[in-house]
């Protein structure tokens, strides 16, 4: 009897000691301080009673990471032949796109899609016209490797940046982790996170400033709402938070029927002609329009949308009112 309780006592003892040690070890394990990202950013939202929402302001974005990201975004070292930077196709002071129907990369190679704006892209629920990237960080590997954009590789880029005393110094001042895919991407994401354009007239208006829109823009907002544009283009980014099929009601005009959208990623029949609903923020600056830039004029894009998405032929007056409204979506870029 005595022998058996001795063993039970011993077993319980061992379990207890193990548990105490495990707890101690767990608690005393150093908390992993991540130095390779741009700290814990958060957003301060202003919620208003409207399908459109004002741009939130970002908190705790580290300016040193943003500056490094800005330098990388503008550096041609990210491309194979040192001729193209992210900024070649995304001009942040001119709407965040490149104003061409489709973009041209290294060796004058031409892509098949229109460059979307990087301004406010941080608010998109997915990236790319077909939403194939989950977020900004994942997106970066796309252009870096794309043979018709930058045609490079992380290995080549890291080697070139390590040869630049400027970049070596900038990286060293923000992270001990050195120059690698992770730190490069984190810096670019920090910069892109800073590329928001708040205080557009529409933001002031939905927050109660009745004079922020002129009478024509107010009529435009009424129509944008009543016709149903707002069903797809809404939220903080006035778009950027849904996938939708083009030609939902009306036929797809031939100029837009070249690209099967999400179908090219998923192979699912239902995804034919499905695209991410683009943000309409700064849309007056981002022509030409649609996934392939086939439409030059904003008024033409509005008419096509009304017909193709809502089955509605709209008058010139309605079109002009909506275009006037879209102009009120242009935000403040002075801090970029
Ligand atoms: C040669 C021109 C070109 C270069 C260089 C380029 N981009 Fe783009 N970018 C595009 C095009 C075109 C698309 C849309 C492609 C698609 O949807 O399939 C795009 C899409 C994006 C998007 C998605 C935006 C959205 O609303 O979906 C982001 C973000 C972006 N690029 C950032 C970058 C960054 C960061 C770099 C540099 C590492 C870069 N781009 C380099 C042309 C370019
Ligand atoms: C059913 C959803 C839906 C509705 C309703 C809708 N849109 Fe769109 N809109 C989209 C999609 C998806 C695209 C991208 C299509 C493409 O590029 O092929 C788009 C693109 C646009 C563009 C081009 C943006 C750019 O950057 O190229 C404009 C402008 C636009 N819409 C305005 C409107 C207006 C104005 C209305 C109302 C008359 C409207 N949309 C109604 C889904 C919708």
In this predicted model, what pLDDT tens digit does every residue of 242-268 receive, in sequence order?
A: 999 999 888 899 999 999 999 999 999
Residues 210 and 179 in one domain: no
> Would you say the pTM of this structure is higher than 0.75?
yes
> Residue 48 contacts by C-beta under 8 Å, 6 or more apart in sequence?
54, 206, 207
Whether 296 and 187 map to the same domain: the answer is: no
Size of the chain in residues? 336
Residue range 280-287: average pLDDT? 98
Q: Is the CB of 275 under 6 A from ligand 1?
A: no
- The predicted pLDDT at position 6 comes to 56
**CATH code assigned at 74:** 1.10.760.10
**In the prediction, which pLDDT does 66 show?**
98
pLDDT of residue 149: 97
* Both structure tokens of 306: 């009304």
Question: Using one digit for the tens of pLDDT, what is the confidence trace for 321-334?
Answer: 999 999 999 999 98
- Distance between CA atoms of residues 246 and 43, nearest Å: 32
First to last CA, the chain: 81
Percent of the chain residues past pLDDT 90, beyond the cut: 86
- Tell which atom from ligand 2 comes closest to the C-alpha of 114: 27
pLDDT tens readout for residues 10-52: 554 555 444 444 444 443 333 333 344 555 899 999 999 999 9
Looking at the fold, whether 2 and 126 belong to one and the same domain comes out as no
> What range does the domain containing 299 cover?
201-327
What average pLDDT score do residues 311-319 get? 97
Flag whether pLDDT at 278 surpasses 60.
Answer: yes
User: Which ligand 1 atom is the nearest neighbour of the CA of 84?
Assistant: 5
φ, ψ of residue 40 to 5 degrees: the values are -85, 95
Cβ of 131 closer than 6 Å to ligand 1, yes or no, is: no
Q: 86-117: b or e for each residue (b if 16 or more CB lie within 10 Å)?
A: bbbbbbbeebbbbeebbbbbbeeeebebbbbb
pLDDT tens by residue, 45-89? 999 999 999 999 999 999 999 999 999 999 999 999 999 999 999
Which of 194, 211, 237 is the C-terminal boundary of a domain?
194
Cα–Cα nearest to 261, from 105, 132, 108: 132
Domains identified in the chain, total number: 3
Please indicate whether residue 116, judged by its CB atom, sits closer than 6 Å to ligand 1: yes
Which residues are catalytically annotated? 149
Contact 152, 79 (CB under 8 A): yes
278 lines ligand 2 (CB under 6 A): yes
Domain boundary among 162, 194, 226: 194
Q: Does pLDDT of 9 surpass 90?
A: no
Residues 128 and 14 in one domain: no
pLDDT digits (tens, 9 = 90+) for 122-175: 999 999 999 999 999 999 999 999 999 999 999 999 999 999 999 999 999 999
Is residue 262 assigned to a domain? Answer: yes
Give me ligand 1 centre to Cα 24, in Å. 48
Residue 12 lies in a domain: yes
Nearest CA to ligand 1 atom 12: 115
């Amino acid at each position: 009897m005595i022998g058996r309780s001795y063993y039970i006592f011993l077993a319980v003892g061992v379990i207890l000691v193990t548990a105490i040690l495990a707890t101690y070890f767990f608690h005393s394990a150093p908390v992993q301080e991540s130095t390779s990202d741009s700290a814990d950013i958060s957003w301060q939202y202003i919620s208003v009673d409207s399908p459109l929402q004002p741009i939130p302001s970002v908190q705790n974005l580290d300016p040193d990471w943003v500056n490094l990201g800005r330098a990388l975004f503008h550096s041609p070292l990210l491309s194979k032949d040192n001729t193209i930077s992210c900024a070649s196709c995304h001009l942040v002071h001119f709407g965040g796109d490149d104003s061409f129907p489709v973009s041209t990369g290294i060796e004058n190679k031409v892509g098949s899609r229109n460059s979307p704006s990087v301004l406010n892209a941080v608010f998109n629920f997915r990236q790319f016209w077909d939403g194939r990237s989950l977020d900004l960080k994942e997106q970066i590997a796309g252009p870096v490797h794309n043979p018709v954009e930058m045609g490079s590789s992380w290995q080549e880029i890291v080697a070139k940046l390590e040869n630049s005393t400027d970049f070596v110094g900038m990286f060293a001042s923000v992270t001990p982790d050195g120059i690698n895919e992770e730190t490069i991407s984190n810096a670019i994401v920090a910069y892109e996170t800073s590329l928001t354009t708040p205080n557009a007239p529409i933001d002031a208006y939905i927050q109660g400033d009745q004079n922020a829109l002129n009478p024509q823009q107010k009529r435009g907002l009424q129509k944008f709402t009543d016709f149903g544009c707002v069903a797809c283009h809404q939220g903080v980014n006035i778009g950027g938070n849904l996938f939708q099929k083009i030609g939902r009601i009306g036929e797809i005009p031939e100029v837009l029927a070249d690209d099967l959208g999400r179908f090219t990623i998923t192979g699912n029949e239902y995804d034919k002609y499905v695209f991410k609903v683009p943000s309409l923020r700064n849309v007056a600056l981002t022509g030409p329009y649609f996934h392939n830039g086939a439409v030059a004029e904003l008024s033409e894009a509005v008419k096509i949308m009304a017909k193709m998405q809502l089955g509605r032929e709209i008058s010139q007056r309605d079109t002009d009112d909506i275009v006037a409204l879209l102009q009120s979506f242009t935000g403040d870029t002075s801090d970029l």
